[in-house]
Amino acid sequence: MTIAIYPGSFDPITNGHIDVVQRVSGLFSKLIIGVYDTPYKRLLFTIKERVEMAQQAVAHLPNVKVQPFSGLAVEFARRVKAQAMVRGLRVSADFEREFDMAMMNRRLNPKLELVCLMARPEYQFLSSSLLKEVARLGGGIDDLVPKHVAQALRKKEGASKM
């Protein structure tokens, strides 16, 4: 069985993330979306909320599971016996950052392979940070996230304006 992880903060999960998951789920026996509990950025959603939104978004994919993790992604990969780590690339800046991380991860776990998928053109601009800003300012997000995520964003951002 070939297992891959797709680590990230997923705050929140977007249609760009889901596109990567759908495309890569056919390449591996099992794909585990690893929701990082404490990234170095301000989070809007709790770990529980982020895991639940991701689970609902990929429920239609039987070989995809979602679980929280803490610590290094390479250690998470070891714990779940993954052979590969999946990353999505949007723009050249992503490549530079992912390249640096890949070199460090290779040093920490030489057996873990990196698989990068290029974002589809309609998602090349999309980031969770940008999405949250647009939602906070009342912009249209319905075609960028699953319906349940759009509702959660509106509820959370509406509450933060009060």
Catalytic machinery residues: 17, 41, 90, 128
CB atoms within 10 A of CB 28: 21
Distance of CA 160 to the CA centre of its chain: 24
Token couple for 129? 């940070």
Q: For the residues of 33-102, what is the DSSP string, one character each?
A: EEEESS-SS--SS-HHHHHHHHHHHTTT-TTEEEEEE-S-HHHHHHHTT-SEEEEEE-SHHHHHHHHHHH
Tally the C-alpha atoms within 13 A of residue 113's C-alpha that lie toward its C-beta. Answer: 8
Token couple for 56? 């609902």
Closest CA to 24 of 66, 86, 111: 86
